[in-house]
């Protein structure tokens, strides 16, 4: 049992480090592993749609919609 608890806590720590290392300290807020998972899943699916439908994500009119889609399904903190 101890091994499984330590492994799961280590996985949470690694996920937190991987998610927050590229952000400034001032921009870091509460950590939710569900939010991190949802964020990466949304990014993966959005990239898939953008590449298949040949949508330019750099267009100004698309930026606000893309941001809303990246945050879709996150838990409000």
Q: How confident is the model at residue 4 (pLDDT cuts 50, 70, 90)?
A: very high
Query: pLDDT tens, 34-75?
Result: 888 898 899 999 999 999 999 999 999 899 999 999 989 988
Query: Based on the number of CB atoms within 10 Å of its own CB, is 5 exposed (0-12), middle (13-18) or buried (19 or more)?
Result: exposed
- Domain-wise residue ranges, the chain: 1-31, 32-77
pLDDT at 10 over 90: yes
């Amino acid at each position: 049992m101890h091994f499984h608890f330590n492994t799961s806590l280590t996985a949470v720590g690694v996920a937190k480090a991987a998610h927050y290392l590229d952000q400034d300290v001032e921009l870091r807020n509460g950590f939710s592993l569900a939010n991190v998972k949802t964020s990466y899943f949304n990014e993966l699916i959005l990239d898939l749609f953008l590449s298949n439908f040949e949508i330019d994500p750099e267009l100004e009119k698309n930026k606000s919609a893309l941001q809303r889609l990246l945050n879709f399904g996150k838990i409000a903190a």
